Amino acid sequence: MLRYLARWWMVAVPLLALLALALSWGSELPFVLAVILAVLLAGAVLAAVHHAEVIAHRVGEPFGSLVLAVAVTVIEVALIVSLMISGGEHSASLARDTVFAAVMITCNGIVGLSLLSGTLRRRVAVFNAEGTGGALATVATLSTLSLALPTFTTSAKGPAFSPAQLGFAAVVSLLLYGLFVLTQTVRHRDYFLPVTTEGTAATTEEHAPRPSARATMISLGLLLVALVAVVGLAKVESPVIELAVSSAGLPQAVVGVVIALLVLLPETIAAVRAARRDQIQISLNLALGSAMASIGLTIPAIAVASIWLKGPLLLGLGATHLVLLGLTFIVTTLTVVPGRATLLQSGVHLVLFAAFLFLAISP
């Protein structure tokens, strides 16, 4: 019964969200209607990711990973661009805040929750250090190039890239992400498969039934509907979100945190479920893969969008966030290198995640 309701929900929500978009476009939203549209927006995000996963399972790797990553990136970029257009100069740092929040959520929040679920069940969480280490190195490189270097470059005023520097960062991010996808899905796929509690490669791997061609086409249509609804509702809701943040007296960076939490919610749920099945490697793949896609695909997309956006594009992090970013990669490296983690490592990551959330609200 629950499975039937879940399937019905994933079909109904994109259609309801699109209908709500058509009825609310161009009108001022009262509070109650704004809340309803926000719920539909969140539901459309979850539905879009679900249908992208169905398509990804059907087409297989490496195209499946690209389908899911592109779908999530479209959602993230749509939310960022919509809020940047409506926010003007006040939202010049929104892309930076969202991408940084995605890195903190994935490397500390999702990793911490996954290790907590795994260690509570088996005391020691085991994973492949070779594949996870490569993924972490890629995330660290992308983060440094896109978020740390703009703080120290001198070609442009403020913590921003010059057009040439931004173009270089966008191209390099896209190439590095593509290289990782090739490594993960083709050349060294075994580095990213689950391992046993003894640390050896698992001999068996569970697979869900492959979706039929009809189910895949339905999911493709619903994915397009959901993406249109997300982009449109983000545009409609953007003034309400900005007003709510300013009325609460919160920093603008909180908007980026909300966007990242919303976009990464499905990956968080999937990672924790995998950890409960003793598949910590899959949890780490989801966490670091999401961080990589958020940088490797979002930064190039924002770079292209900046051609039409007015005002500066601030990407460089401040001193507090640079400290958090550096500490995160040091701690994550120490977690990954042994290939085994305990409850202590999960606690350290979750404390870092809590520190990030607290400092986002009270900088």
Higher-confidence position of 88 and 125: 125
Higher-confidence position of 50 and 165: 165
Helical H segments across 183-315, by residue range:
213-247, 253-276, 280-296, 298-305
Q: pLDDT band at residue 3, thresholds of 50, 70 and 90?
A: low
What pLDDT does 5 receive? 61
Amino acid in position 272: V
Q: pLDDT at residue 202 above 60?
A: no
Of 113, 19, 121, 94, nearest to 256 by C-alpha is: 94
Rounded to the nearest integer, the mean pLDDT of the chain is 84
Q: Identify any residues that bridge with 216 across adjacent strands, giving them in sequence order.
A: none
Counting Cβ atoms within 10 Å, is residue 101 exposed (0-12), middle (13-18) or buried (19+)? buried
Of the CA atoms within 13 Å of residue 109, those in its CB half-sphere come to: 22
What pLDDT does 204 receive? 42
Q: pLDDT band at residue 9, thresholds of 50, 70 and 90?
A: confident
What pLDDT does 205 receive? 47
Mean pLDDT of 28-43: 84
What pLDDT does 23 receive? 85
* Residue-wise pLDDT tens digits, 297-328: 888 888 888 877 777 788 999 999 999 999 99
Q: pLDDT band at residue 198, thresholds of 50, 70 and 90?
A: low
> Using CA atoms, how far apart are residues 230 and 78, in angstroms rounded to an integer?
8
Counting Cβ atoms within 10 Å, is residue 72 exposed (0-12), middle (13-18) or buried (19+)? buried
What pLDDT does 86 receive? 65
Token duo for residue 104: 């903190």
* Residue-wise pLDDT tens digits, 177-196: 989 988 888 888 788 877 76
The model carries a pTM of 0.84
Of 133, 132, 143, nearest to 282 by C-alpha is: 132
Token duo for residue 108: 């500390």
Q: pLDDT band at residue 1, thresholds of 50, 70 and 90?
A: low
What pLDDT does 359 receive? 93
> Using CA atoms, how far apart are residues 112 and 186, in angstroms rounded to an integer?
28
Residues 58, 216: contact at Cβ < 8 Å? yes
Higher-confidence position of 261 and 164: 164
